[in-house]
Amino acid sequence: MAAGASSSAVEPSVEELTLTVKWSGKEYTVRLCGDDTIGELKRSICQVTNVLPKRQKLLYPKIGSKLADDSVLLSQLPLKSSLKMTMIGTVEDEILVDEVDSSEIIDDFDLGHDEVVDIKDNEANRQKLRRRIDQYKIALRNPCRKGKKLLVLDIDYTLFDHRSTAENPLELMRPYLHEFLTAAYAEYDIIIWSATGMKWVELKMGQLGVLSNPNYKITALLDHLAMITVKSDSGVYNCKPLGLIWAQFPEFYNSKNTIMFDDLGRNFVMNPQNGLTIRPFKKAHANRDSDQELVKLTQYLLAIAELDDISILDHKYWESYNEDNFKRRRHA
């Protein structure tokens, strides 16, 4: 089936596309929809070839230049199932590259309430989430624990300064990381979700001792392939839909017992009631003696763990919640 160019003038097409991609002497079949982007296409190709999206160059008759823009919708391109796409790229088997598929994002943006509602309730975005749930299966490193809430953590600039250089990765670890994870583990299962490749996630978490610490256990690791692409007035970008986790472990996790920490608010646009925008940890050498973010967030996590539904809170004001609880304890 083909995605007609004329569909770009109306709502994005949800027509299914079956494309054949040639790479390294073999052919691979990927299935997408017209409302998917080039970025989604590259993510699908990565799933079958292990070539990271960042390393892919796509070739297709007459439209090669448009394939370089990850935000272009497939419905805007004259793709035909009878024509084969060629991908040029190399699997990074032996060499692990830092910041895999993760460009430096200087600005985050605040979305208005109406725009957030439009994004999370948009049927095309919901369809993308359903497809990602079918495509991406979460591998548990440790069992989910009944009765525990869920803490989902980003890595770059949240737990680790990934842009500074150091002889030892521990020098770039956010202060009090292990103390924070140990305290949180008493009330929360912990999932690490990074917008990078899984090899990088495992490497960094291993180097920091997160995967082997005897005082807490990590439930699962998620990477960029678990993300989806959404479109807003501010542009097209990837985000981390918590619905992926809830759908696969409904007996353990849901919107009432989940909180996500990320330095980019756009990453939880599909579930804004569950996101807390953490201050980014940068310039580790200059700031590691003064950064207290994880200490303060530990207090917040333990305080709200008593609630049956933490999604009713506005996590934007988490520091005020800490102060109010402190005042109540003083006057009790």
Q: pLDDT of 250-295, one tens digit each? A: 999 999 999 999 999 999 999 999 999 999 999 999 998 999 999 9
Q: CA-to-CA distance for 50 and 256, rounded, in angstroms?
A: 35
Query: Hey, which residues does 229 pair with through a beta bridge?
Result: 238
- Within the chain, residue ranges assigned H as helices are 38-49, 113-121, 123-135, 177-185, 198-207, 243-248, 284-287, 293-304, 318-331
- The second-level CATH assignment, the architecture, of 5-88 is Roll (3.10)
pLDDT digits (tens, 9 = 90+) for 149-188: 999 999 999 999 988 988 898 999 999 999 999 999 999 9
Mean pLDDT of 314-325: 85
**pLDDT score, position 240:** 97
Q: Where are the domains of the chain?
A: 5-88, 113-331
Task: Tell whether the model's pLDDT for residue 138 goes beyond 60.
Answer: yes
How confident is residue 219, by pLDDT bands cut at 50, 70 and 90?
very high
**pLDDT score, position 104:** 44
**pLDDT score, position 121:** 83
Whole-number CA gyration radius for the chain: 21
Mean pLDDT of 228-236: 79
**pLDDT score, position 103:** 44
**pLDDT score, position 122:** 83
- Percent of the chain exceeding pLDDT 70 equals 85
Q: CA-to-CA distance for 40 and 169, rounded, in angstroms?
A: 32
Do residues 253 and 150 make contact, with C-beta atoms less than 8 angstroms apart?
yes
- Mean of the per-residue pLDDT values for the chain? 86
Task: Tell whether the model's pLDDT for residue 6 goes beyond 50.
Answer: no
Task: Tell whether the model's pLDDT for residue 215 goes beyond 90.
Answer: yes
> Do the first three CATH levels of 5-88 and 113-331 match, i.e. the same topology?
no
Sheet containing strand 26-33, strands side by side: 26-33, 16-23, 84-88, 57-59
Do residues 138 and 261 make contact, with C-beta atoms less than 8 angstroms apart?
no
Q: What's the pTM value of the predicted model, to 2 decimals?
A: 0.78
**pLDDT score, position 106:** 41
Task: Tell whether the model's pLDDT for residue 108 goes beyond 70.
Answer: no
| CATH classification for the domain delimited by 113-331, as one of 3.20.20.210, 1.10.10.520, 3.30.70.270, 3.40.50.1000 | 3.40.50.1000
pLDDT digits (tens, 9 = 90+) for 78-101: 988 888 999 998 886 544 444 434
Task: Tell whether the model's pLDDT for residue 231 goes beyond 50.
Answer: yes
Task: Tell whether the model's pLDDT for residue 30 goes beyond 60.
Answer: yes
Task: Tell whether the model's pLDDT for residue 110 goes beyond 80.
Answer: no
